Amino acid sequence: MKKSLLSIAAGIIMAASPLSATTALPSEKDMNAYLLVFFSDADHSVHFAVSHDGYSFTALNDNRPVIAGDSLSDQHGIRDPHIYRGPDGSFYMAMTDLHIYAKKHGIRNTEWERPDEYGWGNNRGLVLMKSKDLVNWTHNETRLDELFPKEFGEIGCAWAPQTIYDPEKDAMMVYFTIRKKGEHLKGATKDERKTRLYYAYTDKDFTRLVTKPKKLYEYPDEEIQVLDADICPIPGGKYAMTYVAQENPGGIKIAFSDKINSGYDYIEKQIDHEPKSCEAPNVWKRIGEDRWVVMYDVFSINPHNFGFVETTDFKTFIPIGHFNDGPMRATNFTSPKHGAVIQITAEEAARLEKHFPSNK
């Protein structure tokens, strides 16, 4: 019988210590495989897939959820999972606490959790998870309206959280999309009704946000909504931030900064090469190569799929197609949503494949 859940311990508190004070971490030369995390619209749960060559990915557990969304969140479903390996050797996952089909599935009586004036997909929280081994996880729900009621008591949405270590703060930074007030809420300003990019820091145990979210980036056109940021350190000490601008079509743009949480410049050109809209960029490096992949969710095609471009210099981006119509392969799954990839060791890959075997 297949296992349907990773071991989850809600609210376990680990001994706090500086994130940078750690034993030797595996380096890129120790890496041997890749882990893709994604979710499915069908179950609003977390899925894992492993690749040993960076091209062909196989979903674990025969593409059944490895973590059921209804076990994690207020809304009994999650979206937009992101995974990150921290400097303390732990793995961090962050995701949106949201179920967009809850009424259809009989989970609630209304389309959205709150009245329609709060807008499409309205939600108020994120899910934060931490693990030492990719199998056993702590998990906590963090609600922005409860933590910061003065600034975000009327929050319209909190979507697509991602995590990165900030060496200046020695803390994990979570950055995500916020619509500060309801989309149709009376008295809300134009800026408050639009989705913008924000960041905040967490406690050492990755259980909650401990700083008030601040704006991460100001798009030059205030009429355009921005969302789904992904920050990646690049050669030369800079940071590259890919993100979505909801233009026509909406697509992936890139900006650069010397600082992790501010100063990103504006570059007009999109980098995705898609004729229709896409979202949810994630940048990952090929093991042993000076080559990076930008993966994104092409939601505007049916069935939806992931698209990919590659770069060696973060200036030129070469399209390499979608899953199963180019070199990238999804061997036992279709229609993945909003994914993220990290490098893992052979031992870590073997542990996951043993715990969640698939019949290839």
Q: What's the pLDDT tens digit per position in 17-38?
A: 567 655 578 999 999 999 999 9
Mean pLDDT of the chain: 94
How many CB atoms sit inside 10 A of residue 53's CB?
12
Q: How, if at all, do strands 56-59 and 329-330 pair?
A: parallel
pLDDT of 360: 65
How many CB atoms sit inside 10 A of residue 316's CB?
10
* Cα separation, 342 vs 86, whole angstroms: 11
Provide the 8-state DSSP code for 49.
E
* Cα separation, 237 vs 234, whole angstroms: 6
Prediction pTM value: 0.95
Please list the ranges in the chain whose pLDDT falls under 50: 1-5, 9-16
pLDDT of 24: 74
Query: Helices (DSSP H) in 41-96: which residue ranges?
Result: none
CA 302 to chain centre: 22
The Cα-based distances of 170 to 165, 176, 203 in angstroms read 7, 19, 11
pLDDT of 19: 75
* Cα separation, 141 vs 208, whole angstroms: 7
Reduce the secondary structure of 239-301 to three states and give it as a string.
EEEEEEECCCCCEEEEEEECCCCCCCCCCCCCCCCCCCCCEEEEEEECCCCCCEEEEEEECCC
Backbone phi, then psi, for 117, in 5-degree steps? -65, -15
